[in-house]
Chain A
Amino acid sequence: MKFVREFRDGEATQRCAETIAREARHHWTIMEVCGGQTHSIMRFGLDALLPPAVELVHGPGCPVCVTPLELIDKALVVASRDDVIFCSFGDMLRVPGSDGDLFTARARGADVRIVYAPTDAVAVAHKNPDKQVVFFAVGFETTAPANALALLQAHTAGLTNFSMLVSHVLVPPAVAAIARSPTCRVQGLLAAGHVCTVMGYAEYEPLAAQYRLPIVVTGFEPVDILSGILACIRQLEQGQFVVENGYGRAVRREGNAHARAMIEEVFEVTDRVWRGIGVIAESGYRLRAKYAAFDAEVRFSVEDVGARESTACRSGLVLQGLIKPNECSEFAVRCTPENPLGATMVSSEGACAAYHRYRRRAMGREVDA
């Protein structure tokens, strides 16, 4: 496959790892922001190729993981209504809310459907005029254009039985929140390639300067990730703190103007709760007032549904790179992919799930409770 095979090449990967080992003269801690990158690192065992001087910590870039508990609870309430067909991306269905997950809701009789694209949910609404069709619009900047497109389609078609439960989150405010935290350990950052494909990387430039943080826009294959780490280390060793684009085959500085315009039309920036982290100011999108008629929270009066987070789950610390998943006492003991205590154990892109799937044995946590 073009653009996959050459970036998984064994020799190129090895060469890159050797260069990192040669050039890293100090201890550096680097965060990969995106859960897709975490998954790749675990799947390909890339951290095993790094010298001890380079430590990777895993960032908050998994949309399933950071979607707040109360939003899952709202989804459960809406999905359980007899008049609703609830459409969602597949990996949101297993995220535990206060009382089960969407799979459980489905087993109890709710009409919950997995869709592969938000516009599929619009098609479901066309086909089921006597039902209310709700799409669970979660994700980072990456999924925002497709969600905006779905909403615009529904708007143009004058659909009155389509709405969205929106919980979009944005990467740069989260990066800034992590960087300015007094406990921050992160010295270099691999920015999420897909997010930058949409948004570009200009908004990272002030962050790199202000927090003295090299930021490298990075893809998802082994050669991409190791090249991103190498670029970070070169900057750190030379005392540079700028944004570099290491994912030139997909990312331009200004991003995708068409996609951004669509986001701008439909969404506006708002404060958001990040599961495990808390409220981050201006860190998400909500529907603009002119599209309020499509807001499922308003339509189904669930704005007041709230929930408190488990005290057992330490995913907030994981998402900020303060602990590794296996440093949590519940990891692989009470918390497993079948019994997730928190969302980082649910999605394949969640750091805890990735550790559990690829590293559990190496960590000496072999026995499931």
Chain B
Amino acid sequence: MSGNDAGGKDTGGKARLDVQLSCPAPVGTRDRVVLGHGGGGLMTNRLIEDVFLGAFDNPWLGTRHDGAVVPLGTARLAISTDSYVVSPMFFPGGDIGKLALCGTVNDVAMCGARPLYVSAGFILEEGTPIEALRRVVSSMQAVAREVGVQVVTGDTKVVERGRGDQIYINTTGVGLVEAGRQVAPNRVREGDVVLLSGDVGRHGIAVMSAREGVAFETTIESDCAPLASMVQGLFDAGVDVRCLRDCTRGGVASALVEIAEVARVEVEIRDDAWVVEAEVLGACELFGLDPLFIANEGCLVAFVAPEDVAKALAVMRADPAGRHAREVGRVMKAERAEVRLRSSLGTSRVIELLSGEQLPRIC
């Protein structure tokens, strides 16, 4: 955090005249958290590296997966935690409760584990209608029942009006990883096939359309759904699953880039391989957003052995969340740790993490 207060820090209150600077201060060495730090891109990664990794340094954290797989006696336990602050808390296709259960249970499943128990912490803003809370909790219980997990412990805190946004939820999930099962980026190798379980971009656009001030109406619903049974189905069918990742914040693109970087492999995907609903595509075109970077909440990428592709696709497509499952790419001879997008025009380009959030463009 180098000093960057060339212009004086206090810009509040009165108009500050005669700003005379020779250089617009680079804004990279930010001394405060900005929204981009939560975008799931480079800024998020840098924050994690700068603040958290050094402080909590241990081999499990170092794997940079969605959850950690830790030994406990003779068993292996998968643990994952996530906080949910979505606004608005009710959106087409779901609410913050459904999201809080699905998201955490999915992260546990992405470790190759069978999710078993969940904790739930609620931060409630003074004045929030109890009825809204009841609806949210009921959504959580519906998902818990569907997946077969129990919410076994919880916490409730209330903050003053204005110090929260009605309901924030943190959930932590634990599950058991079957003996001998390894699902992690370091198992990915040349020739593996990349499968995508669903259509792309629905959650992000559904939430955006429900936000105050967005003047477009759609019938788009979030894809928010539990993926644990689909994952279990893959193992039951004997598919050699090398690595899994749900494509939440940062979208399919960020999930793939993170796996490619950790696994040190080159992944090539084809731009005509996945499904984007027409309305999602329309909204993306309108706002200048790339669907590949938009959040999903019921969609995963699976790296599987090439001989298991047909089997895996059959399992995925039998699941309600996997109707649009497709083969989207392949792991190439590893020259560089990167993701390449091959277009139907015959061109190709590298896909990189965004620095912060995608911002709607001006025109």
Give A residues with C-beta under 8 Å from B.
Answer: 1, 4, 8, 10, 13-14, 36, 39, 42-46, 48-49, 63-64, 69-70, 73, 76-78, 80-82, 89-94, 96-101, 103-110, 113-117, 119-120, 123-124, 138-140, 142-143, 194, 222, 300-302, 304-313, 334, 336-342, 347-349, 357-362
Contacts and interface: CB of A to CB of B under 8 A. Distances in A.
A338 B28 contact: yes
B55 interface: no
B361 interface: yes
Q: Is the contact region of chain B dominated by helix, strand, or loop, or is it mixed?
A: loop
B26 interface: yes
B345 A123 contact: no
B152 interface: no
Contact of A77 (B6, B11, B22): B11
Which A-B residue pairs are the 8 nearest by beta carbons? A45-B347, A339-B28, A90-B359, A99-B7, A10-B344, A142-B363, A107-B32, A337-B355
B179 interface: no
A46 B126 CA distance: 54
A148 to B, nearest CB: 14
Interface in B91-117: none
Interface in B7-66: 7-9, 11-13, 15-28, 30, 32-36, 42-43, 46
Contacts of A361: 336, 338, 350
A48 B13 contact: no
Given A311-B23, A339-B26, A107 B33 contact: yes
A341 B24 contact: yes
Given A69-B24, A116-B215, A305 B18 contact: yes
8 contacts: A39-B288, A99-B6, A99-B8, A99-B21, A120-B213, A336-B355, A349-B288, A362-B350
A39 B356 CA distance: 18
Interface string B303-315: 0000000000000
A4 B347 contact: no
A361 to B, nearest CB: 5
Interface of B: 5-9, 11-13, 15-28, 30, 32-36, 42-43, 46, 213-216, 278, 281-282, 285, 287-288, 336, 338, 343-350, 352, 354-356, 358-363
Contacts of B6: 98-99
B8 A338 contact: no
Contacts of A120: 213-215
A94 B356 contact: yes
B251 to A, nearest CB: 15
Contact of B27 (A104, A139, A142): A104
Contacts, number: 203
Contacts of B362: 63-64, 89, 91-92, 138-139, 143, 347
Given A64-B362, A91-B359, A93-B359, A301 B32 contact: no
B361 A349 contact: yes
A194 B363 CA distance: 8
Given A103-B36, A361-B350, 13 more contacts: A1-B281, A8-B344, A10-B345, A69-B24, A80-B11, A89-B362, A104-B34, A108-B11, A113-B213, A307-B21, A308-B22, A313-B24, A340-B26
A357 B25 CA distance: 23
Given A1-B278, A89-B362, A96-B24, A49 B347 contact: yes
A116 B287 contact: yes
A187 B43 CA distance: 40
Nearest to A358: B349
B360 A89 contact: yes
A320 to B, nearest CB: 20
B344 to A, nearest CB: 4
A306 B215 contact: no
A337 to B, nearest CB: 4
Nearest to B282: A1
Contacts of B35: 103, 106
Nearest to B214: A116
B28 to A, nearest CB: 3
Nearest to B363: A142
Nearest to A222: B345
Given A44-B347, A82-B12, A108-B32, A360 B27 contact: no
A338 B16 contact: no
Contacts of A36: 288, 361, 363
A338 B43 contact: yes
B34 A98 contact: no
A334 B48 CA distance: 22
B338 A140 contact: no
A311 B23 CA distance: 7
Given A81-B12, A116-B215, A117-B215, A97 B24 contact: yes
Contacts of B345: 8, 10, 13-14, 44-46, 49, 222
A359 B349 CA distance: 7
